[in-house]
Structure 1
């Protein structure tokens, strides 16, 4: 009896009952493309949100510091500008020292001693004023005024020291003994009868100081040259200045 031999690769009945296994994809590897879960996605989202929050906080802190720095710089610049404006205003007003004004208002005859044709002395009184245009007081020392006629000294007057308040004017009378005989040499008979005008000059020096709030002080040296026209009546009975013109040099 002949035995029938089946094909070489024929499957046995037990093998047919086993399920077929799917082949793995040759291009996909779990080690290269790991599988992700919902929990992993949530962790990544939380990490990204935390990183964004930190970046936002860092940016906000930086912007806050920058704003504070700009504000501080602005305050400093404003303060410096205000101080500069105040100093400029003070320099142009309070701390600006103006020159005092010296004026010889008039010269009058007080007394005449002696013979007009001989050696005589005449006492003259000069009305002098000092105006202080500053916002601080002006203190001055003892001054000396020389009177000249024809190039010769005819008298010297002295004024005491004193002080002129802010924006005030001080007037004072100074007397001098004029050597009238130096003038009478040029006096003729007609001059004694009808009178005459004489042109005199004077020179005065005054030293003083202006003190502003005790902080700013300036020393002043005033030199004053005046031209005076004296109107002399007959027989020198009266002498009075007709015109006076003064020019001051302040240093």
Structure 2
């Protein structure tokens, strides 16, 4: 019995178990790859968002001056004489178009006016009432102007000769000042000018050869 008890038996080989806090190299590499991809996606998203904001700022938030044009002039009344001295009195109805190229409305006050001139001298002026040209639209405004040659300096023009010829060359000037409102946050002051030339035909009481710069 003693021999059997003292007999030693070979021990079974120990199994080496990987510690739970040690990662598998393959899994570690996969996780690193996913982390790198995540950073790449985030960076790409930031770049795309920045590009979108830049395009938005350049296209939408960039304000431009409106375009002002005299579309037509109608003679409502006309009275002229060559003796005893040349004189011309008329009532003109001018249709002014304000084209707004912006993505926000263009608001203008009542400090704007339309002026009619002859030979560089002012015949008449009329203020334009305040209004608004909506985004990407054209606003038309009718302005009634009383013109009087009695307002001109005497002897400084050839009014008598023009009245005798039946045609009087006139010019018109208009300067608009207003503000462009963008997404109810941004507000930019914009000014536009208009210079036009035309011919008043006395016999037909009509305006012809209307052209604007």
**Under TM normalisation by the shorter chain, which class is it?**
0.7 to 0.9
Q: Secondary structure at the match of 1:167?
A: coil
Q: Between Structure 1 and Structure 2, which shows a larger proportion of strand residues?
A: 2
In 1, Cα distance between equivalents of 2:123 and 2:176: 20
The answer for the alignment partner of 1:179 in structure 2 is 148
Q: Secondary structure at the match of 1:57?
A: coil
Q: Between Structure 1 and Structure 2, which shows a larger proportion of helix residues?
A: 1
**1:65: Cα distance to partner?**
4.5
| Number of equivalenced pairs | 199
1:138 corresponds to 2:109: no
In 2, Cα distance between equivalents of 1:144 and 1:205: 7
Q: Deviations over 1:10-62 (max 9, x none)?
A: xxxxxxxxxxxxxxxxxxxxxxxxxxx953x823xx3xx435x6696253564
Change (3 A) 1:116 1:190: closer
**1:116: Cα distance to partner?**
5.0
1:125 corresponds to 2:93: yes
The answer for the alignment partner of 2:175 in structure 1 is 205
Larger RCO: 1 or 2 (CA < 8 Å, sep 6+): 2
1:67 corresponds to 2:38: no
In 1, Cα distance between equivalents of 2:137 and 2:89: 35
Q: Deviations over 1:119-171 (max 9, x none)?
A: 55322221111112223222111211222222211211211010112222121
RMSD over equivalenced CA pairs, Å: 3.1
TM-score of the superposed pair, with normalisation by structure 1 = 0.66
Change (3 A) 1:190 1:203: closer
The answer for the alignment partner of 2:6 in structure 1 is none
**1:180: Cα distance to partner?**
2.5
Gaps of at least 5 residues in structure 1 are 1-36, 247-251
Change (3 A) 1:190 1:99: closer
The answer for the alignment partner of 1:108 in structure 2 is 74
